[in-house]
Chain A
């Protein structure tokens, strides 16, 4: 039996998330286990965004008046704190985007379009989210590049031997998710970065599932691009980050054209603004940047190491208890130490959506489907899976609730 131990004060943390304190119907409390889809927001984030709209809503980088000045300062100060959170060398390397997906598309359609030519290879993986497959397929159709996929082993890990064999001189970019949103597997991205660089390729790391849950140091990882979304890390929807090494970003053409991304516009042509503004055309998501800044502050206050330790403990407990339920098969590495805080599963004789439906009836919110990773599900020859994913506010009692509800699922669906 796993020892139930956490460095977090869960009662205090849960008090910061008013949404968690509700019944989905009378007498049935909500157990929110869908954090890999999106996280809940603490009062600190909600109040920071509320304060922006109540007290200093204004456009940034524009007006010569007090509110605009305050809004610009808040927007830029958030960028600096976000940069520190991932240990970027400069705020100029931290680009605001809409989300992880847009960050990857930005790299594909600026760096990729400018630097890749027919015959070049982008090396992705079988476990990627669609957002790290489709932009490269679109670029392949446009430029005649080739997208190849590093296979996943039967154990649910990236096949590192195959990766090294596939890394030939045609490969110009390796693009990989730090933590799988289905398998939970954490990839050895530093080792992959070194191998990519030795082969003359760049590396892009999709950190959508890692930054919210574990310490990330982009300089220590030596990655060229690192992308993530605010909404999975206690922040609002509608804002994400592209980190890139400064020299690369400097050399890249802009993504979208418009206001704020230019230094000078003449009818005959324009001159681009300096970093990071070159990539931020138009009025940005200001309240959302303020919200993400508050989210990063909150995560830092609790301690991302503590959050990671809590999730490791709760995941180990969940894996142990799930193994007790007949017919349940958990995807991904068996060892909790190699995983992030989620468990995607199948139950013999029951469709994942039916499982999620009955779990919902008992208050447990999970996600069912292919989790935007259809190729990965095809690789394991399953149409879909049911995923429970954890965060800093989840309790061991909620894992017990999940297990009890899974037995009710078996009863209801006669599985």
Chain B
């Protein structure tokens, strides 16, 4: 994937977001902001009977990278267990987006994963974050 292909993929997810919108009956949701860019991402997750993620959706606003990352995150999540997500690092998301493109803006790229992890933490009875900055 060359530079422009990576940009085009990000633009495609930005302009045609997958799994976009509020999810009625979600098992849990979580929201986070990236104060640097002012990006906002809210993720919704529905769990199946087997405890795996059945579906995910998102709402948000901000730069193309954060919103494209959220769109990709909702595609990556189904079928995974919460433990698998909690143990995930941002590398897979960064590689999928194109490392060269997002290298100066890792926080935009990793925001959806951070939000999802925080959601899992709270869903499992953890304390709410001390600030809105995840």
Contact = CB atoms under 8 A, between A and B. Distances in A.
Nearest to A350: B64
Nearest to B37: A353
Contact of A383 (B4, B11, B61, B108): B61
B62 interface: yes
B105 A383 contact: no
B57 to A, nearest CB: 21
Given A369-B37, A383-B61, A357 B105 contact: yes
A414 B4 CA distance: 11
Contacts of A353: 37, 63, 65, 105, 108
A351 B108 CA distance: 12
Interface residues of B, number: 15
Contacts, number: 34
A114 B62 CA distance: 43
B64 A354 contact: yes
A383 B62 contact: yes
Interface residues of A, number: 15
In this complex, the member of A357, A369, A384 whose beta carbon has the largest number of chain B beta carbons within 10 angstroms is A357
B36 interface: yes
B62 A351 contact: yes
Contacts of B49: none
Nearest to A360: B104
B21 interface: no
B7 A383 contact: no
15 contacts: A351-B37, A351-B62, A351-B64, A352-B63, A353-B63, A353-B105, A353-B108, A368-B37, A369-B36, A370-B38, A383-B61, A384-B37, A412-B4, A413-B7, A413-B64
A337 B64 CA distance: 36
Given A360-B104, A413-B11, A414-B11, A354 B38 contact: no
Contacts of B64: 351, 354, 413
Given A354-B65, A357-B105, A412-B4, 13 more contacts: A351-B62, A353-B37, A353-B105, A354-B64, A357-B104, A368-B37, A369-B36, A369-B37, A412-B7, A413-B7, A413-B11, A413-B64, A414-B11
- What are the 5 A-B residue pairs with the smallest beta carbon separation, nearest first? A351-B63, A353-B63, A383-B38, A353-B37, A354-B64
Contacts of B65: 353-354
B11 A369 contact: no
A357 B104 CA distance: 8
Interface string B27-45: 0000000001110000000
Contacts of B61: 383
Interface in A353-389: 353-354, 357, 360, 368-370, 374, 383-384
Nearest to B108: A353
Contacts of A354: 63-65
B4 A369 contact: no
Contacts of A351: 37, 62-64
Contact of B38 (A360, A384, A412, A414): A384
B36 to A, nearest CB: 6
B1 to A, nearest CB: 15
Contacts of A383: 38, 61-62
Contacts of A384: 37-38
Contacts of B36: 369
